[in-house]
Amino acid sequence: MADLNEFITVEDAAGERIDRFLADELSDRSRSFLQKLIKEQDVKVNDKPVKTSYRLVLGDLVSIHFPEPEKPDIAAEDIPLDILYEDGDIIVVNKPKQMVVHPAPGHYSGTLVNALLYHCRDNLSGINGELRPGIVHRIDMDTTGSLVVCKNDTAHQSLSAQLKEHSIHRVYEAVVHGRFKEDKGRIDSPVGRHPTERKKMSTQTKNGRAAVTHYEVLERFDEFT
């Protein structure tokens, strides 16, 4: 069956063009692809087809019908991996900047999945389908960081449950512009779409998701921490 996604527009999206809104919400889909869906009436607002120039109104129900995609052959590629840890159930890799995590339209080669298929052979969980074997969580193409990939369905189900209940402890190191007054602290501020720059996330939103960060200062510089 084809996929169906639904979105209810919120206050900070009112007045925005439907094609731009969808491009921001579905960052793994190109704007031209989404405009094609709109023109083919696969996108409806309140159960009615709209044009790409339609501007959203607070409370609009946006529904998207994704046609059944052709299943491309995802090839195993001998791409070097920065492996941080590996055992019979999981593999932890450091994804470099500019590498896409899993195949998607426009990126069917050179992804982390292509490299994992070569390294792990058939030892990857199949819960997320042929395009995302072993992938439980992802990070953006421009971001570098650690990813835990599952080699079997049991490990995949366990890790998914831990991510859902937020029982996993994740640590990040960052250089921050500005000076922290305290050496340790807690930031509790919901995060959502930026009210005007929709591709950015911000705490200046009325409909953000809960987000808590505990921080500790490692080193101080003149204008950075």
Distance CA 96, CA 143 (A): 7
Residue 140 annotated in active site? yes
Beta bridge partners of 185: 215
Distance CA 129, CA 198 (A): 29
Strands 43-45 and 48-49: antiparallel
Sign of CA dihedral 164, 165, 168, 171: positive
Q: Are 119 and 69 in contact (CB under 8 A)?
A: no
Distance of CA 56 to the CA centre of its chain: 24
User: Active site residue: 3, 82, 140, 153, which one?
Assistant: 140
Which one-letter amino acid corresponds to residue 206?
Answer: K
Catalytic residues: 140
